[in-house]
Amino acid sequence: MNWRQRLGAFIGGFDAGQHHRRLRGFQATRAHVNALIAASGPDITARARWLARNNGYAVNAIESWAANTVGDGIKPISKLANAAQKEELQRLWLAWTDEADAEGLTDFYGLQRRAAREVFLAGEVFVRIRPRRVEDRLTVPLQLQMLPSEMMPLHETGVARNGNAIRQGIEFDRIGRRVAYHFFRRHPGDSTDPGLSGEIVRVPASEVIHVIDPVEGGQLRGVSKLAPAIVKLFLLDQYDDAELDRKKVAAMYAMFVTSPAPENPLAPLDDEELPAGLEISPGQIVRLDPGEDVTVGQPADSGATYEPFQYRTLLQISAALGIPYPYLANDMVKGNFSNSRLALIEFRRRVSAWQHSVMVYQLCRPVYARWLDLAVLSGAMTLPGYEADRPRMLAADWLPTKWDWVDPLKDANAEIAQIEAGLKSRTQAIAERGYDAEQVDREVAAERARERALGLDFRRPGSPAQGVQANPIETEHESQTTDPNTETGSPKREND
């Protein structure tokens, strides 16, 4: 025990800093997270991927995270003041999203979902920006290539030829800025593509987007969100396998017949001689020689402890992953409506923070900026004064998919009440649903015009959208109002 520990034991203070009996085996490392990732990162990622392929709870958590963070996509709404330019830009962006994937397997919003999945699974993902030639006939000459974490080696550390420092595959200049990334040309674990195996290529940082959710200051590479739950997920899987095997053995029903003498007709035949290691199957009748007996072990039943143990273990896994228990286990029985709603509110606050601080800031904005630059340079989009006023023209609101509640009617009524009370604008309400208010207004106006032309009206009687004079019952009632100054009670006329 050094002098600091002796002094701490003498003066007391924080129990968490003492070295008494209760904490004698608690030896926490003082190594930085980068050193820990360098030592254990590849094993953590490999185990997380194994669980994602083989463990139902793990894959359910990953898919739930991706579906809630991205959904149908986090979409941009340009803030250009010119309505015609804004409409043209939105149309061009929508057309390009179908061409965004360099592999041609999904669109830009599908890449967002894959990125969210990879960040949850491996802690990080890399997106390489791929400018294309005009002859490639793309809407905008730009595509994106997604690279998994394993494509950049953690052991690539040293000094580059230009004197820059390379740390865990990332090259830094002398003032600490990222200037390049060092990738494998081929995935080190893909034996189906052996060409150029182990060769490393340097890619400028301007062509790479590193999506990562760091948990500590100075962290360079990502850590799987499954890391705190890997041990429990694996051991719980083993426990379930053991329970299944025990149930399988207990479900075996075999009948053993012992013959009193060899000449008895029930004696085993020559072709039914049993091997030294007796194996039985369900419903099997086994004949034994005289004097032989079989003792079958009776494994203890798990009884009423299995379900509570599973539930508590899954709650710990749920807390470690930050995924609500119903989303992790697909168990909607436990908990009432109020408790479920509170859990979803907390979960969605976390998701919203991650959407804007990670997905939008690190991936969506850089891609949008590069896309608009190339759209203007290639002539696909005309924006006068773009170079001088680029920041303003790049401004956009990124709108995630709206979450639906269990009782949407109550939420809709509450939202209408907030709008009518002036607590929320229609623009804000529409934006929260993931749509552009101006586009929605144009569509509504076009529908109203078409309804009038065809003599249709699908609006609910008395709704604010119909206006004061749109209700024929009220109009007829008002026209029949009597003049209080007349005795006959005849309908009041305008000339009166």
The span from the CA of 54 to the CA of 233, in Å, is 11
pTM of the predicted model as reported, rounded to 2 decimal places: 0.78
Q: Is the pLDDT of residue 86 over 50?
A: yes
Whether the CB-CB separation of 101 and 110 falls below 8 Å is answered with yes
Reported confidence tier of residue 371, pLDDT bands at 50, 70, 90 = very high
- Calculate the average pLDDT of the chain: 83
- The residue length of the chain stands at 496
Torsion angles phi and psi, residue 454, rounded to 5 = -100, 0
Of 33-42, 288-297, 329-338, 365-374, give the lowest mean pLDDT range: 288-297
The span from the CA of 299 to the CA of 336, in Å, is 37
Whether the CB-CB separation of 296 and 255 falls below 8 Å is answered with no
The span from the CA of 427 to the CA of 420, in Å, is 13
Whether the CB-CB separation of 172 and 160 falls below 8 Å is answered with no
Torsion angles phi and psi, residue 141, rounded to 5 = -70, 70
Whether the CB-CB separation of 351 and 327 falls below 8 Å is answered with no
Name the region of 287 (left: φ>0; alpha: ψ -120 to 50; beta: rest): beta
**pLDDT tens by residue, 95-151:** 999 999 999 999 999 999 999 999 999 999 999 999 999 889 999 999 999 999 999
The span from the CA of 127 to the CA of 145, in Å, is 6
Reported confidence tier of residue 171, pLDDT bands at 50, 70, 90 = very high
CA diameter of the chain:
126
The span from the CA of 185 to the CA of 194, in Å, is 10
